[in-house]
Amino acid sequence: MTLSNTTAIILAAGSGTRMKSSKPKVIHEVLGKPLIRWVVDTARQAGVEQIICVLGHKRNVVEPFVEADTTVVIQNEQKGTADAVAVCRGAVSSSAKSVLVLNGDCPLITPKTLNDLVEAREASNAGVAVLTMEAPDPHGYGRIVRDAGGMVERIVEQKDCDELQDAITECNSGFYCFDASMLFDALEQVGSNNSQNEFYLTDVVEIARANGRATIGVKAEDVNECLGVNTRIQLAEATKILQLRINHAHMLDGVTIIDPHQAWIGPDVVLENDIEIWPQTFLAGNTHIGEGTVIGYNSRMFDTDVGAQCNISETVAIEAVIEDGCTCGPRAYLRPGAHLCKGAKVGTHVEIKKSVVGPGSKVPHLSYIGDATIGEDVNIGAGTITCNYDGTNKHATIIGDKTFIGSDTMLVAPVTVGSDVVVGAGSVITDDVPDGALALGRAQQLNKEGYTQSHKPKE
């Protein structure tokens, strides 16, 4: 089913005081993605074309996360969920047949459930379809009160429940689908005569019934989809559920994850077949891993493109490119702009920043390479540093093909070292080196014979 004639309203105006955070609740992250982005992206995956985000508390902080692909509406004063939806009246498309109301702190909802909710409402021509759940512990949730025919008669908030209503286990999830033609007229009839003195969106159920419209409940197949995040504990619980949901999907698609409880993979990560992922791995953002690559222990990758048949171990990579057949780690650090060409190697305790390491070239040990272009089949000796910063500006180092850089070399940029060059160990290279040359840039060794004997203390 396509939801092209459906508008989704995402409620994200609250402060989320139980998070005890200076940040708005909806931008706290699960697997590297803010809560509100999970809900926006799910609605988009379900086929919703128009998405409206209702912001209020610290809206200037939240808005950058949603302004590019949603319509932002401001609720200046948080007077309840009915008021939050009502402020969207002028923004909802005139072609909308249904209006979904979603919560910006519920990252577990799936596209299928949203489709089922809209389909159920439209098939029955109901005024309201409520997504309900059988809560193991219903305390805190609004209760679903059904009539003799099974229709939703009303929703009673926890603080307004009497003894019989408090015993009901079918609860309101906070997700709704409304008939767009009746929603905003019904909202004008909502009052605030309740324990919170707020305008409850749930009152629309009784208003719709009074106007002769059917009000149905659609029970969620998985209660976890309805869970919201109000505390740091619930944030961790949502993370664990989504972690396993994502990992199981990858394993069914041909990825080996040694321990799915110890691999954290973001929702936008793309993994090809026959990848092996070992414990304590973090893959986030728009990261892509090619076929047959092994991601070893303790690796973290963010917005990084990794080719096929690579071997990565204890590597941190941020906005880097690693082509086919490369080896990284252990304990390698690839900073933004690092680009390892086919078959390159970056080894133990090596940091690469904004540099190209050419095909088949090696930086095996204890080196820093910054703002450099390294050619093909180059060997960089242990302890080599490109001295790219003069205290004010960054400068480039260029190294040609098949060059050998001896251990403990300082390349003081800007400097160009040609192809087929040998640089002696311990050199400080400050001038360009022509092709085929031997470069030595160190002080002459001085030996003083008999020094030890002449400086021994007398007994």
Q: How many CB atoms lie within 10 A of CB 46?
A: 23
Tokens of 451: 């020094």
The catalytic residue among 57, 288, 349, 365 is 365
**Read out DSSP for 215-245?**
EEEEE-S-GGGG----SHHHHHHHHHHHHHH
Contact, 271 vs 312, CB < 8 A? Answer: no
Which structure tokens are listed for 229?
């995040």
Write the CB contacts of 440 (distance below 8 Å, at least 6 apart in sequence). 423, 424, 427
Q: How far apart are CA 447 and CA 445, in angstroms?
A: 7
Question: Cα–chain-centroid distance for residue 63?
Answer: 17
**CA dist list (Å): 140 to 96, 134, 147, 335:** 33, 13, 22, 46
Rounded to whole angstroms, what are the CA distances from 164 to 131, 215, 319? 22, 21, 57
DSSP 8-state secondary structure symbol assigned to residue 260: G
For the range 311-319, what are the long-range contacts, defined as Cβ-Cβ under 8 Å and sequence gap of 24 or more? none
Residue 127 · residue 214 · CB < 8 Å: yes
Q: Cα–Cα distance between 142 and 133 in angstroms, integer? A: 11
**Closest listed residue to residue 151, CA positions, set 118, 183, 115, 120:** 120
Task: Specify the 3-state DSSP secondary structure of 269.
Answer: coil
Residue 365 among the catalytic residues: yes
Name the β-bridge partners of 71: 52
| Preceding peptide of 414 cis, ω within 30° | yes
Instruction: Pull the structure tokens for residue 126.
Output: 């109901």
Residues with a known catalytic role: 365
